[in-house]
Amino acid sequence: MIHNLAAFAPALRRLSERFIRFGSTTGGMVVELSGIGLDGTPLRLRWWLRAEAGDGPQVPVTPAVVLAQRLADGLVKVTGAQPCMGLLTLAQIEAGFENYAIRCGVDTLS
């Protein structure tokens, strides 16, 4: 059993660098959802994201940047500590990807 993974970090980092040449600057993810649509019929959706040109690290930070911009512009009226759920729409987050090689979309599956 490993009690302190941090102690292995330097060695794991050196090991990981041996694999860099096998990677690429493109990454992505897919999320599939299934359930019942608003009309009561079965619904399956697939949300996908593709990040190219090494822009993948922008994916997790973009929502924070977009929210900070909206707060600074006075477009978010809530104050105090609270969960951030519902403060941004998916469209607002996707708009934050405009200056990067990041594309995403939603497909309806049968």
pLDDT in tens, 35-74: 999 999 999 999 999 999 999 999 999 999 999 999 999 9
Domain extent listing, the chain: 26-109
Summarize the confidence of residues 68-90 as an average pLDDT. 92
Model's pTM, two decimal places?
0.74
Q: Identify the residue whose tokens are 């897919």.
A: 30
φ/ψ (deg, to 5) at 91: -60, -40
Which stretch of DSSP H or E encloses residue 59?
A: helix 58-72
Q: What is the pLDDT of residue 34?
A: 97
